[in-house]
Amino acid sequence: MNGLKKILLSAVLAAMPLVAMSADKWPSQSITFIVPYPPGGPTDIMARLLSVPLGNKLGTTVVVENKAGASGNIGSGMVARAKPDGYTILLSTSGNMSVNQTLFKNLNYDPIKDLAPIIQISKFPLVLEVKADSPIKTLQEYLAFAKANPTKVSFGSAGNGSPQHLGLEIVKERTGAPLQHIPYKGASPALNDLLGGQIFSMCDILAGSINYIKAGQLYPIAVTTKERSALLPNVPTMAESGLPGFDYFAWHGITAPAKTPPEIIAKYNTALNEIFADPEFKKRWEAIGSEVVAGTPEQFQALILSESVRLGKLVKDLGVQLD
């Protein structure tokens, strides 16, 4: 047995220089950047903003691919099972990293064990909104109308357990308002139906809705963070609108398959921190409503773990669970 252990140890040590060498030569081909939601939503916007500068930093092409479905589980599972060679990365969210493991009974990946954190890239307020021609202009009017019309106030989301869903579930829990949840396969289809009048409202991540708000197509009732958004300085917070202490936000980051070489993770992290440090890119990023976060893989891992506890408890308290 001791002889076998020595042989195995020798084989591991012999392979180590090859791993380092492959990391030194990486990347030698294009990178696939998986977005586990449909085109047009906040995750898609962020991935496409990052793809070109990231490719330039790494000296290759970064190709964005949308693999939507099952509240982000389809695309996330694909990346979790991908070869850990650094050529496949995932646009991760609070949903697919910290909510779905509680929300789904049979998740096809383990976000903690199967995905390696690279960097946190955003912290977003959500905005409760209706069509611009709606007579509803305040949170109190919204809640009063819902209570007077129990079947009329629907809200769309990017799917069960998504930030858009949980944000208004918290409102329902605190106010008792009979809000009707309609899950979609991504935020973009929900927004299309809101604009078309098929649903009454939405509590969307600001990045996905800001252009429609600026164009006068949607009316922002309140933002969900404890502070007002710099992009919507005249829009009150939920707390200012009658729900003291309300503070809810969405976050995003980038992950890779577990066992991706640490040297490659470090190259990604360095490149992305440099991108976010660029003043011109920061302006473009902040223009979609997000704070610039960045940081280390360890900081992102700490967020994933703490949010898994916080959001997991929220999902359990709501009694929401899917197959």
Least confident of 10-24, 249-263, 304-318: 10-24
DSSP letters spanning 10-42: HHHHHHHHHHHHHHHH--SS-EEEEESS-TTSH
| Separation of alpha carbons 257 and 117, rounded Å | 9
On whether residue 9 sits in a domain, the answer given is no
> Does residue 129 sit in the same domain as residue 219?
yes
Model confidence pLDDT, tens digit, residues 60-117:
999 999 999 888 899 999 999 999 999 999 999 998 999 999 999 889 999 999 999 9
pLDDT of residue 18: 43
On whether residue 267 sits in a domain, the answer given is yes
C-beta separation of 311 from 98 below 8 A? yes
Q: Is the pLDDT of residue 290 over 80?
A: yes
Model confidence pLDDT, tens digit, residues 304-315:
999 999 889 888
> Does residue 135 sit in the same domain as residue 216?
yes
| Separation of alpha carbons 294 and 188, rounded Å | 26
Least confident of 15-19, 34-38, 41-45, 316-320: 15-19
> Does residue 211 sit in the same domain as residue 298?
no
On whether residue 5 sits in a domain, the answer given is no
Q: Total domain count for the chain?
A: 2
> Does residue 44 sit in the same domain as residue 116?
yes
| The two three-digit tokens of residue 138, written as one number | 């305040």
> Does residue 114 sit in the same domain as residue 131?
no
Confidence of residue 22 (pLDDT cuts 50, 70, 90): low
CATH number, domain containing residue 82: 3.40.190.150
C-beta separation of 288 from 209 below 8 A? no
Helix (H) / strand (E) element for 252: namely strand 249-257
| Separation of alpha carbons 267 and 314, rounded Å | 35
| Separation of alpha carbons 161 and 314, rounded Å | 10
> Does residue 129 sit in the same domain as residue 193?
yes
> 52 is in which domain, residue-wise?
29-124+249-318
pLDDT (average), residues 186-209: 94
Query: Which candidate, 212, 185, 188, 204, places its Cα nearest to that of 131?
Result: 212
Q: Is the pLDDT of residue 19 over 50?
A: no
| Separation of alpha carbons 175 and 188, rounded Å | 27
Based on its alpha-carbon atoms, the radius of gyration of the chain, rounded to whole angstroms, reads 21
| The two three-digit tokens of residue 31, written as one number | 């990178």
pLDDT (average), residues 37-56: 92
Which of 205, 223, 241 terminates a domain? The answer is 223
On whether residue 24 sits in a domain, the answer given is no
On whether residue 109 sits in a domain, the answer given is yes
Question: What are the residues whose beta carbons fall under 8 Å from the beta carbon of 5, sequence distance 6 or more?
Answer: none
